[in-house]
Amino acid sequence: MASTDIKQDPLPFSIGEARKIVGGDLFKHNALIYWTDFLLCWFVGFYAYAHARTYAAKIYLADFEQNWRMDGISIPESAVMLWGSYIVATLLSCVLYYRIAMFIHEIVHMRGRNLIVFRFVWHILCGIPFLIPSFVYHTHLDHHRSKHYGTERDGEYLPLGQRPPWQIIAFLLHPFIVPPLVFIRFLFLTPIAWSIPNFRLFIHQRCSSMIIDPFYIRPSEPEAARRRMYIQEFSCFLWLLTLVGVVFFTRDTLPWPFFIQSYTTAVILLTLNALRTLGAHRWSNDEGQMSFEEQLLDSVNYPDSRFVGELWAPVGLRYHALHHLFPAIPYHNLGIAHRKLVTHLPKDNIYNQTVAKTLTEALQNLWQRAKASTTTTSGGKTS
């Protein structure tokens, strides 16, 4: 049964009124902001990642046993400095790489030729090297369709607030297995799928979407969308083939620091995104299609703690309820739009109920509701 926090017969919400308050100018994309934000984060992130790989190689190759004191307790200062530098460089690169990766959320919402050069460059510098071409996130648009949200046709929704807490833990463990699965999907399964039509259908339906519902089946798409998918997945295949070829033909170098650092970075990025995902909604619906008011109340805004919020929910994702209200507003205008709505809408308007103070508070609330739901279900079975 769905939680009472979204099943309380909320007052009707006027999208037209909210649209008038926001105004039309906030729906325009500022190309300068996109390019500056993306390229600056990419260059600094690449610099930090290169240093992290260097430190990883030194740690991997170093023979610390000769530098340890005889008592076996103290660690040499050089080792402390090396590990400290490695951790700082890794965390910095992960935060910045996470930010540029999440531009995929903006890209799938763009229409026509809007910022088409930016989208192309993003794929070259991020989407293909990170193995997250935009086609894997195209199903995100179903998450925004009113008739799909929170149903089996929404691959980005699970009623975790109504399920046992262990499912939340299981969800947080998926970042550790996804990187090798993505590697296998693009390097090995892609060429096989090109040769076997039935396997191609399986790969399209089951292995081509960035989702959280493991039972989600991706629907068929128009021919133009499939052509873009083929081009993007072929580019990912060539990228991985090149990496494997470099490792094979340069046997004098050790590939392990590179693979270890790549895996570590991927796990941290996916973990950040998993925590952000858990805080994006209240995950309370298990009764099928929801009204728009219920969908809005099931989504969350985090207008406070701007600096910290941009670390775990970059590129406007901390305004997730507002994004569900107006998906076409670019990320750099979401804060302005939120402040306009809060100022001009009545205090008792349901939009004001979408606000949470911190991610920690939202995660604790989700955990408590999951525990309460499990207790209620167990009690009902035994009574």
Q: What tens digit of pLDDT does each residue of 46-56 get?
A: 999 999 988 88
Range of the domain at 322: 15-379
Number of domains in the chain: 1
Higher-pLDDT residue of 1 and 119 is: 119
Structural domain includes residue 6: no
**332 neighbors 351 (Cβ within 8 angstroms):** no
The whole-number pLDDT of residue 274 equals: 98
Structural domain includes residue 79: yes
Which two tokens mark 376?
Answer: 């209620």
Q: What tens digit of pLDDT does each residue of 59-97 get?
A: 777 644 444 444 444 455 577 888 999 999 999 999 999
State the DSSP H helix or E strand holding residue 142, giving kind and residue range, or none if neither: helix 140-143
**Region label for 341, one of left (φ > 0), alpha (ψ between -120 and 50) or beta (otherwise):** alpha
The whole-number pLDDT of residue 192 equals: 97
Structural domain includes residue 7: no
Q: What tens digit of pLDDT does each residue of 360-374 get?
A: 999 999 999 999 988
Q: Where are the beta strands (DSSP E) in 75-195?
A: none
Structural domain includes residue 227: yes
Q: What is the CA radius of gyration of the chain?
A: 23
Structural domain includes residue 374: yes
Q: Is the dihedral of CA 134, 137, 140, 142 positive or negative?
A: positive
Structural domain includes residue 219: yes
Q: Is the dihedral of CA 131, 133, 138, 143 positive or negative?
A: positive
Mean pLDDT of 317-334: 97
For residue 197, count other CB atoms closer than 10 A to its CB. 9
Beta bridge partners of 319: 301
Lowest mean pLDDT among 26-40, 52-66, 128-142, 156-170: 52-66
The whole-number pLDDT of residue 332 equals: 98
Mean pLDDT of 302-323: 95
Structural domain includes residue 80: yes
Q: Which amino acid is at 261?
A: Q
Q: What tens digit of pLDDT does each residue of 221-231 get?
A: 999 999 999 99
| Whole-angstrom distance, CA of residue 102 vs CA of residue 100 | 5
Mean pLDDT of 258-279: 95
Structural domain includes residue 3: no
**351 neighbors 345 (Cβ within 8 angstroms):** yes
- Does the pTM exceed 0.85? yes
The whole-number pLDDT of residue 379 equals: 57
Give the three-class secondary structure for 319.
strand
